[in-house]
Amino acid sequence: MSRVIDVPGSADFESCHDELNEFRRDVLAGLNKPQKQIQSKYFYDEHGSELFNQITRHPDYYLTQCEIEILNNCKNRLARLLGSHPFNLVELGPGEGIKTQLLINEFLHESLNFNYLPIDISKKYLYMIINDFREKQPRLKLTPLHADYFRGLEWLRKNSQNRNLILFLGSSIGNFDPVITLEFLHHLCNSLNPGDYVFLGFDLRKNVDVLMSAYDDIDGITRDFNLNLLKRINRELNADFNIEKFGHYATYNVYTGAMESYLISMEPQIVTIEALEKSFSFDSIEPIHVEYSHKYLPSQIDQLAQETGFVIVDKFTDSRNYFMDTLWQVKEQK
């Protein structure tokens, strides 16, 4: 029976108490900046995770449908590539893992010898995966790791010699700014062994109207998802954000190619966060930056592989050319 492994040495994630400390530290640092900011990784409390699941099913949010189409088209190619040797299917930030099920079903169908290791900071998501797979795929070898991406990969390095296929789906990589993206990919490459594979999702540049609808859907689910961050601070850090006095604003930066999401104070106000023993003043129409979602040109994706130690093995796009999943391999000589 699967159980969630609290990765040893992953002090930040061993207990709720430490998670709360980190949340407190990051909110303080973010709201003290001249341009206020809260990191998007804090979206995923219990309610935030539920709202994100609803977003991925919304017709305006094309990303999930595109990636499902791609995975259905390339799952057999991946199964053939991995062949009969034992391997680890490692997923960074799986969320509820619905897309991964397509690959797992194919790999089990082809009788491949693998262990699935989802790595997530959200225990709620990991338990969801355990329950779901126990019911649908009781044969699956499953080792859920409750950890930050790289702590999880460190644990894996110490505990398995098998070849790895790392999945980083959705457009999670687009949430990093360009400098952090390069650091992340270098770090990923150095955490793996030569010959390991990574399968990465990149959202491509496209008509701005399509982007705007995806990040500000007609039913207001994305708005609620973003505002839930303030509710989380109210609940966990004992704050008094009045949600009615904040709005959600999404915009596309034509120069950087990033969708940017903000929470905007609709009037001058003061908010007190008791856990920080501090009050923060907001001007009218002052933003809190909460998310970047970078969109890529195919040439930029190739360049990222070349600059960070990977060889490009294959690329897959959907029929509308909205999204690209790329398969890279760690160079034999790093």
CB of 118 to ligand SAM, least distance (A): 9
Does an H or E element contain 84, and which?
none
Would you count residue 122 as binding ligand SAM (CB under 6 A)? yes
**Per-residue binding letters, 203-242, with ligand SAM (x by CB under 6 A):** ----------------------------------------
Residue from the set 10, 37, 172, 228 that interacts with ligand SAM by CB under 6 A: 172
Nearer to ligand SAM, 172 or 261 (CB): 172
Q: Supply the minimum distance, in Å, between the C-beta of residue 295 and ligand SAM.
A: 15
Contact between 141 and 163 (Cβ < 8 Å): no
The two beta strands, 163-168 and 145-146, are unpaired
What is the distance of C-alpha 78 from the center of its chain?
Answer: 22
Residues 38-97 touching ligand SAM, rule: CB under 6 A, are 41, 44, 56, 93-95
> Smallest distance from the beta carbon of 240 to ligand SAM, in angstroms?
26
Longest dimension (CA), the chain: 63
Using rule CB under 6 A, residue 149 touches ligand SAM: yes
Using the rule CB under 6 A, give the single segment among 165-173, 186-194, 203-211, 319-327 that binds ligand SAM: 165-173
Residue bearing tokens 């496209």: 206
Would you count residue 125 as binding ligand SAM (CB under 6 A)? yes
Span from 27-35, 119-127, 282-290, 325-333 in contact with ligand SAM (CB under 6 A): 119-127
Q: Check if the beta carbon of residue 99 is closer than 8 Å to that of residue 175.
A: no
- Judge contact between 240 and 272, C-beta under 8 A: yes
| CB of 93 vs ligand SAM, minimal distance in Å | 2
Tokens of 72: 């259905």
**How far apart are CB 31 and ligand SAM at their closest, in Å?**
20
110 vs 31: CA distance, rounded Å: 51
Q: Indicate the residue among 121 and 140 with the shorter CB distance to ligand SAM.
A: 121
Which residues share a beta bridge with 203? 323
CA dihedral 299, 304, 310, 313 (to 10 degrees): -30
Within residues 242-281, the interface with ligand SAM by CB under 6 A covers: none
What residue type is assigned to position 49 of the chain?
A: S
Question: How many residues at the interface with ligand SAM, by CB under 6 A?
Answer: 16
Q: How far apart are the two ends of the chain, measured CA to CA in Å? A: 38
Residues numbered 187 to 206 that lie near ligand SAM (CB under 6 A) are none
The residue with tokens 């053939």 is: 80
Tell me: does residue 169 bind ligand SAM (CB under 6 A). yes
The Cα–Cα gap between 278 and 274 comes to 6
- CA dist 216 and 278 (Å) reads 32
Binding site for ligand SAM (CB under 6 A): 41, 44, 56, 93-95, 119-122, 125, 148-149, 169-170, 172
